[in-house]
Structure 1
Amino acid sequence: MSNCEKQMYKKAGLTLAFFIILTITYLFLIGTLDLRGSYFTPFLQSLPTEAPNYVPPCRSLSPLRVYMYDLPQRFNVGMLRRRSSDETPVTVETLPPWPAVSGLRRQHSVEYWMMASLLVKGEERENEGEGGNGVWVGEERESEVVRVLDPEMADVFFVPFFSSLSFNVYGHNMTDPSTERDKQLQVDILKYLRESKYWQRSEGRDHVIPMHHPNAFRFLREQVNASILIVADFGRYSKSMSNLKKDVVAPYVHVVDSYTDDDTPNPFKSRTTLLYFRGRTVRKDEGVVRAKLQKLLEGYDDVHFERSFASEESIRLSTQGMRKSKFCLHPAGDTPSSCRLFDAIVSHCVPVIVSDQIELPYEDELDYSEFSLFFSTTEAIEPGYMIEKLRQFPEEKWLKMWNKLKNISHHYEFQYPPKNGDAVNMLWRQVRHKLPFAKLTAHRTRRLKIPDWWGRRR
C-alpha cells in the first residue's frame, strides 16, 4: 500500500470518527443517550486529542489528462539525429534516448522529458465501459499525468515542439543562414496549431508549449503567448507576455552528476571550501554582478571562484568542487537563473542566490528559504558582507539545510521512465495548478463583447 493510500484511509477513519462523535453529541444534548458507562466510552477515550503531524499533500486521485499532438519527428527528436525530414510521429518504440554526451544542450532538455513522460514503456489500455475510455496508463500508478488518445477527453494539449533544441541546433549563431530553419519550424508549427479546432476553441490557452531556452521560439513567441509556457525564467520576456499566473517555471536539467551516496558522518567539517563558483564571469544585464563578485572574492583562502567555460572537463571539476563545498554561489547570468542552482541542489551544496528578479520552480509547494540563502545584489557587492555572513552561519542550521537538500533533490531529477515526485511529475502538477486560470480566461473571452477591462491599466 502506498503512502498516499495510507493517508487516504487515515483521513477516512478520522472523518468517520468525527461524524460518530457529532451524532453522539447531538443525541446526548437532546437527552436520548446517556454516555455514562456506555460501551462508547473506551472508543471515545482512544480518539486522538491533537491534530496529526502535517504531511505533504498526495497526488490527486485523477491524473492530469493530456492529449499530445502527433507531430512529425522533424519538430522534436529528429533534431537529435539530424533527420529533420522525418514526417512520422515519435512512438515509444522510436523514442531515442537523450544523448549521453550533449554538453549544455542537456540543461534545456525539459521538452524531451515532458514528451517522453507521455510515451512511457509498458503502456496498457485502461478500459472502462463499452469501448474503453481512450486513456493510456503507465506502469507508475502514482503518475501525475496520463495520455489520452481522444482530444475531447483532454484537460490540456501538449505541443511536442523542441523549440529550445531548434535554437541550439539551427539558430544558435543568431545570424547564421541556418537560423532560417529554426524560424521555418516556428512558422510551420504555428500554422499547424491554428488549423486545429482545439487550438481555435481556447485560442491556445489550454495548450502546453515548452519554451525553456531564453531564445526559444523567439521569432513568433508573441503568437503563442496565450498558452501555458514552460520557461526557465522571465528574463527575455516582456511584462505584457509571460507571467506566473499562466506559465510554469521549470528547473534546468542539471549537468553535474547527482550526489546519491552523500552519507558523510560530518559533512559540515568535511566540506572544507566555504563558497564555490566555477563558470563564466562576463555576462549581460543583471549578470554583470559576476565580474564584480570575482574582484571582491579574490584572496579568500576558503573561497573557490574560478572563471571557466563549459566543457566535459569543467563539468567533472564542478561535480567534485560542489561536493566539497558548504555553499555554492549562484549569481544571475544573462537571465536571472542558470543551471548552476540546480547543480548545487543535486550536490547538496547550500545555494547562495544573488539575483534580484529570479523566479523559482515549484515555489507554491517548496519554501526555498529552508535550503537556500538569498542576498540582494546590493548586499552581495558590499565588501566583506556576504563572506562574513557565511562564516558566521551556524553549523546546526547548515546541517538542517543539507538534510533538506537531500530530501528534496529528487524533485529536480529528469529521467525516463519518470518516477513519482521527480521533475517531470512536479511540472505536470504545476501545469494542473495553472489550468483554472486558463479555463477562466478562455470562458470569459468567449462571452465578452468589448475588450477585456482587466487588461487595461488602472
Structure 2
Amino acid sequence: MFGKQQNHHHTSTRPRSRSKILILTLVFFSFSLLVILYTISSSARPSVTYLDPSDRPETSFVTSLEQFLIHKAPKLSLPVRDDTVRGESDDDVRKLDEMVFERENRWLNEDPGYPVGFPIKVYVYEMPKKFTLDLLWLFHNTYKETSNATSNGSPVHRLIEQHSIDYWLWADLMSPESERRLKSVVRVHQQQDADFFYVPFFTTISFFLLEKQQCKALYREALKWVTDQPAWKRSEGRDHIFPIHHPWSFKTVRKFVKNAIWLLPDMDSTGNWYKPGQVSLEKDLILPYVPNVDRCDAKCLSESAPMRTTLLFFRGRLKRNAGGKIRAKLGAELSGVKDVIITEGTAGEGGKLAAQSGMRRSLFCLCPAGDTPSSARLFDAIVSGCIPVIVSDELELPFEGIIDYKKVAVIVSSSDAMQPGWLVNHLRSLTPSRVKEFQNSLAQYSRHFLYSSPAQPLGPEDLTWRMMAGKLVNIKLHTRRSQRVVKGSRRFISLDCGLPTNESSPYIEPVTGLVFSSDADNIQSGKSGRIQKTLDTVHIKPYLFLRFFPDGVRNCYTLPVLQNVNYLIRAVFVYGNYDGFNDYPSFDLYLGPNKWGRVDLEGKVNGTIEEIIHIPRSNSLQICLVKTGNSLPFISALELRLLRSDTYVVQDVSLKHLFRRYYRQSDRSIRYPDDVFDRIWSPFFLPEWRQITTSLDVNNSNNYEPPKAALKSAATPRDNGTKLTINWTLDNPDEQVHLYFHFAELEPLEINSSNLDFVETTRLLLRRKISIVVNGNVTSDSILPIDLAVSTVDTVVNKCNGGKCSLQLVKSPGSAERVPLLNAIEAYTAIKFPHSETNPDDVVSIKIIQATYGLRRIDWQGDPCIPQQFLWGGLNCSDMNMSTSLRIISLNLSSHGLAGKIVPYIQNLTELQKL
C-alpha cells in the first residue's frame, strides 16, 4: 500500500516537495541570520544568558526585598555558628588579638599574596533585629504609605531606594554560598578570620521612617552595641564598615565612629553633611546611588531603537543649595536653546517615567552638582545610555581606582559651562565617531552601577570589595601601631606603696578592678607602715599601707613611662596615724627636678591627693618626696594613667588638678571603671540649683570620654533663675586656670510633626544656647548641648583678681527661654617647670655605675644635678645657667673603698673632666 501511494502521487507531488524544501531552507537561513546578528550585537555589550527565568538577577529594590523577606529572612533566625559578643572585657580583646596574630602570621608565611589576596573575608555582625530585619519589614509593610514627599518634594520611598546600598551588600553577604556568584568576598563566622567587619544597620530607612527622637535613640543603641565588641576595641573601629549612604543618616553619632570605613555617596566638599576631617578617600569608599530608572536593555540600545533626537536633557530640581546653585544658573543659560530640554521635576513615579523617557531619547544628560556634589542622576544617565555631562568641580566618583570615567562621560568645569553658548557648542563639536565611542562604553560600563540579587560579577557589590582590598594594608598598619602605642603595659601604673612582702603582689583591687603592685622595685629607700585598722572601712586596700622615709632629705621613685605623651599622675597620702603620734606631717613633692607642690595633711583626716597632667620628656619619670621640717614624708599610692594625646592640649605647661566635679546631689565619687582614664569625679551641688537627671543612655564618646554616670545628671538654675554661678579661690592670684566643661542635653525637645524641615528649624530655635562668662568676660558663646550626648568646651582664665574667680553660665543673646545647664567640669592650674633634666645619657651611665659598684647612698636618688641643693654627693655638674641640659663634669668615688677594674660606662660620661 505504501508503495502504491508513492507511485500514485509521483508526477503531481514533485513541485510541492521542492516548494517545501525551499521554504524550510529560507526559514532555517533566516533563523541562523538572526542568531548571528544577535550574537554580533550582543558581543558589543556584556550579557548573561539565563536558561531559567528564575536565575535572572533582580534589580528592583522593592521586588528583591519582597523575595528576601519571604524566602531568606525566616532562615536567619535559625541558629548559626557565630561568635558575636556584647560588651565583653579587655581580656576578650586580648584573646581575639592573639588569634588574629596567629592567623596572620600563618598566612604571611604560606600565602605569597597576603595581605591583599582574594577573597576578602568579611564578618557580618548579627545585630539585634531592631537594627536590621525589623527596619526592612517596616519599609515593606508601609511601602505605599511612604510614597509621601519630603519637604523638598522628593518621595520618601524613592530616596530610600536610591540609597539602599546597605540592603544590597547585606543581602549578598547573607545569602547561602551556593547562591552567591561573587569570588571577591566571602562571609566568615569567626572574628579572628575576618579582614573587615560589616555593620548591617539600615541607617537610611531608620532616618526616614522613624520619629526623630526614636531614630536618634536607635542610632545611640547601635553605636553602643558595635563599640562594645572586642573587634571594635581591638582596632578602634578601623576595619569596621558602616553604610552611611544618605547624607543625613547616622549624622548624630558619626563623630564617634570616625575611624571606621564609611560607605558614602560622595565626599561633600560643602561641609553641610560631614564635618571637616570626618571623611577621606584614603579611609572611606564612595558607592554609586541605586539608579531610579530601569536599565536600557539590548532593544533600547539597538540601531532600531527610537532616535535620540534631543541633544541635552535635564529633569530635576533646579533650586539647590551650596554647590548646587549652579543648577539654576545652567537652567537659565540653557532654557529655550534648540534641542535642549531643561524641566523641573522630582523622582516620584511619574517623574521616574518622564526622566527615563527623556534620557532614552537624548544623546547627553546634564549632571550638575546638587546639595551634594553627586546625585542619582549621573547613574540614571549611565544605565539609560545617555552620555553624562558632569558639571561638578568637587565631585569624587565611585570605583575611580578601577573605572575610567573619561570613557563614559563628558566632564567640564563649572566656569566653562557657565560661559554663554559654550556647553552646547562643545557638545555639538563632538564627532559622531566620538559619540559612538561614548555609547559603546556606556553599554559596557552600565553593569558596574546596577545592584542586583544575586549580586553579579563586576557589579557594584563586586567592585566594592575589590576597592576595599586596597585599604587592607593601611588598616593593619594603623591598628598595630595603635595597639603598640596605646595598649602597652605602661598605660596604667598602680603602685601600692609600702605593701608588705607577705602580701600578694600584684593583686586586683575589688572595688575598682584595677591591678596594683608593690612599689619595692621602683624605690631603694623607706619603710613600710600601716594606718590604724579602725580606718580600714574608709579606704580601699591600696591606701591601707604606706611607705615613710626616716632617712635622707630626698627619696625618689623611678617609673618607666612613654616619652612625650600625656599622663595623669596621682599621688595619694593617707596618714591614718600610722606612727601613733597623731601628728599630721607636711613636706614637698617633686616631679623630676621641679617642685610639684606642698603636701600638708593638717586637718585632713581622710588624707589628700595630689594630681597633675604632665608629659614626660624621657622614658623615665622620677617622683620625689622631700623633707622640709621635723615630720617624715610618706606616700600611700602612686597612680599613672595614660591619656589621649588629643586631650588637655597645652603649650609648655603641666596642668595641676584644682577640682573635678559632676553636678548631682550625691555622696558617691566616680572613678574607674566608670571613667576609662580613672579620673576621680566628686559630686557637687548648691541649694539654689535644680537637679535634672535621665535614666536614658548618654553617649560619652568624645576625646575626653567623661563617665556616663557623671553626664546623666546636671544642674540648672532653680525657679526663675537665669544663670549658674560657680566661685572658687586661688592661693596664687596670678595662676592661669584651664577649664573643661562637659555638656549633655538631658531634656530633649519633643516636636510632633511629619515635616522634617519644620522639626529641625523648630529644634534649632528652641535649643539651649549657653554662654560662658568668666570674671565678667564672655569666653565661649552659643554652646548647643547635644541631646543625650556629650560635647566638651575648654577655656582659659589668665588671671583672677585677688585670687577670687567667678564663673557664670548664662543664656546666649537671642536664644530661647531655656535656662543653661552643666553636667560636669574640670579645673586645672597651669604650672611651668623651669628646670630641664640632666642629660639622659649621663643619667643612664651614672645609674649603671651605681648598680655595678653597689653604691647605696641615700642621697643618690632623683636627678643627679638638679636642683642644686640635692646634687648627688661626689658629683659636680655643668653651669645651671646653660641653655642645654646639665652634664656631669666631676665624679669622686674615693671614699667608697672600691677596688678592681674601672667600669667602662664611665667613658660614656663624655663631659667628665675630673675622676
> Under TM normalisation by the shorter chain, which class is it?
0.7 to 0.9
Match of 1:414 in 2: 451
Residues 210-258 of structure 1, C-alpha deviations (whole Å, 9 max, x = no match): 0000111110101001011100012122331110001000000001010
Cα gap change, 1:242 to 1:106, in 2 (>3 Å):
same
Q: CA deviation at 1:190?
A: 1.2
1:317 to 325, 331, 354: 354
Match of 1:358 in 2: 395
1:111 to 147, 152, 166: 166
**2:121 is paired with a residue of what secondary structure?**
strand
Match of 1:331 in 2: 368
Residues 190-216 of structure 1, C-alpha deviations (whole Å, 9 max, x = no match): 111121111000000000110000111
The answer to whether structure 1 residue 242 and structure 2 residue 279 are counterparts is: yes
Match of 1:295 in 2: 332
The answer to whether structure 1 residue 258 and structure 2 residue 318 are counterparts is: no
1:214 to 225, 247, 258: 247
Q: How far apart are the structure 1 equivalents of 2:208 and 2:183?
A: 30
Q: CA deviation at 1:266?
A: 7.5
Q: CA deviation at 1:77?
A: 3.2
**Counterpart contact for 1:187–1:220, Cα < 8 Å:** yes
Which one-letter code corresponds to 1:169 in the other structure?
L
Q: CA deviation at 1:104?
A: 2.4
**Counterpart contact for 1:140–1:420, Cα < 8 Å:** no
**Counterpart contact for 1:287–1:331, Cα < 8 Å:** yes
Q: How far apart are the structure 1 equivalents of 2:142 and 2:387?
A: 29
Match of 1:64 in 2: 120
Q: CA deviation at 1:76?
A: 2.3
Aligned length: 361
**1:282 is paired with a residue of what secondary structure?**
coil
Q: How far apart are the structure 2 equivalents of 1:426 and 1:138?
A: 20
State the TM-score, normalizing by the size of structure 2.
0.38
Q: CA deviation at 1:138?
A: 3.9
**Counterpart contact for 2:266–2:372, Cα < 8 Å:** yes
Q: CA RMSD in A?
A: 2.4
**1:277 is paired with a residue of what secondary structure?**
strand
Q: How far apart are the structure 2 equivalents of 1:98 and 1:156?
A: 33
Q: CA deviation at 1:152?
A: 1.2
Q: CA deviation at 1:419?
A: 1.2
Q: How far apart are the structure 1 equivalents of 2:297 and 2:332?
A: 34
**Counterpart contact for 1:104–1:255, Cα < 8 Å:** no
Match of 2:227 in 1: 194
The answer to whether structure 1 residue 382 and structure 2 residue 415 are counterparts is: no
The answer to whether structure 1 residue 307 and structure 2 residue 305 are counterparts is: no
**2:137 is paired with a residue of what secondary structure?**
coil
The answer to whether structure 1 residue 167 and structure 2 residue 212 are counterparts is: no
**Counterpart contact for 1:138–1:146, Cα < 8 Å:** no
Match of 1:50 in 2: none
**Counterpart contact for 2:407–2:441, Cα < 8 Å:** yes
Match of 1:347 in 2: 384
Q: CA deviation at 1:391?
A: 1.0
Which one-letter code corresponds to 1:350 in the other structure?
I
Greater than 4 Å deviation, 4+ residue runs: 96-101, 449-453
Match of 2:39 in 1: none
Q: Which runs of 5+ in 1 are unaligned?
A: 1-59, 84-95, 124-136, 171-177
Q: How far apart are the structure 1 equivalents of 2:430 and 2:398?
A: 26
Q: CA deviation at 1:141?
A: 5.0
State the TM-score, normalizing by the size of structure 1.
0.75
Which one-letter code corresponds to 1:161 in the other structure?
F
Identity %: 38
The answer to whether structure 1 residue 373 and structure 2 residue 428 are counterparts is: no
Match of 2:132 in 1: 76
Cα gap change, 1:146 to 1:217, in 2 (>3 Å):
same
Q: CA deviation at 1:82?
A: 2.5
Equivalences for residues 126-205 of structure 1 within 5 A: 137-140=177-180, 142-170=182-210, 178-205=211-238
Q: How far apart are the structure 2 equivalents of 1:103 and 1:217?
A: 19
**Counterpart contact for 1:246–1:434, Cα < 8 Å:** yes
Higher radius of gyration, 1 or 2: 2
**1:276 is paired with a residue of what secondary structure?**
strand
Residues 331-358 of structure 1, C-alpha deviations (whole Å, 9 max, x = no match): 0000000000000010111100010101
**2:363 is paired with a residue of what secondary structure?**
strand
Q: CA deviation at 1:382?
A: 1.1
**Counterpart contact for 1:246–1:437, Cα < 8 Å:** no
Q: How far apart are the structure 2 equivalents of 1:391 and 1:406?
A: 22
**1:256 is paired with a residue of what secondary structure?**
coil
Residues 79-108 of structure 1, C-alpha deviations (whole Å, 9 max, x = no match): 23229xxxxxxxxxxxx8996983221010
Q: CA deviation at 1:443?
A: 1.4
Residues 15-39 of structure 1, C-alpha deviations (whole Å, 9 max, x = no match): xxxxxxxxxxxxxxxxxxxxxxxxx
**Counterpart contact for 1:255–1:343, Cα < 8 Å:** yes
Cα gap change, 1:138 to 1:358, in 2 (>3 Å):
farther
Q: CA deviation at 1:381?
A: 1.2
The answer to whether structure 1 residue 442 and structure 2 residue 479 are counterparts is: yes
Which one-letter code corresponds to 2:233 in the other structure?
Q
Match of 2:28 in 1: none
Q: How far apart are the structure 2 equivalents of 1:77 and 1:341?
A: 30
**1:220 is paired with a residue of what secondary structure?**
helix
Q: CA deviation at 1:111?
A: 0.4
Q: How far apart are the structure 2 equivalents of 1:72 and 1:417?
A: 24
Q: CA deviation at 1:310?
A: 2.4
Q: How far apart are the structure 2 equivalents of 1:427 and 1:164?
A: 19
Q: CA deviation at 1:144?
A: 1.5
Q: CA deviation at 1:321?
A: 0.7
Match of 2:257 in 1: 224
**Counterpart contact for 1:279–1:307, Cα < 8 Å:** yes
Cα gap change, 1:242 to 1:422, in 2 (>3 Å):
same
Q: How far apart are the structure 2 equivalents of 1:141 and 1:431?
A: 18
Residues 35-85 of structure 1, C-alpha deviations (whole Å, 9 max, x = no match): xxxxxxxxxxxxxxxxxxxxxxxxx863111111111222123223229xx
Return the structure number with greater relative CO, CA threshold 8 A, min gap 6: 1
More strand by share: 2
Which one-letter code corresponds to 1:332 in the other structure?
A
**Counterpart contact for 1:113–1:415, Cα < 8 Å:** yes
Q: How far apart are the structure 2 equivalents of 1:240 and 1:292?
A: 30
Which one-letter code corresponds to 1:414 in the other structure?
Y
Q: How far apart are the structure 2 equivalents of 1:79 and 1:317?
A: 30
Q: Which runs of 5+ in 2 are unaligned?
A: 1-115, 148-156, 486-561, 566-643, 650-915
* Greater shift in the superposed pair: 149-158 or 101-110: 101-110
Which one-letter code corresponds to 1:196 in the other structure?
Q
**Counterpart contact for 2:364–2:386, Cα < 8 Å:** yes
Match of 2:465 in 1: 428
**Counterpart contact for 1:228–1:431, Cα < 8 Å:** no
Equivalences for residues 22-37 of structure 1 within 5 A: none
Match of 2:502 in 1: none
Q: How far apart are the structure 2 equivalents of 1:237 and 1:304?
A: 33
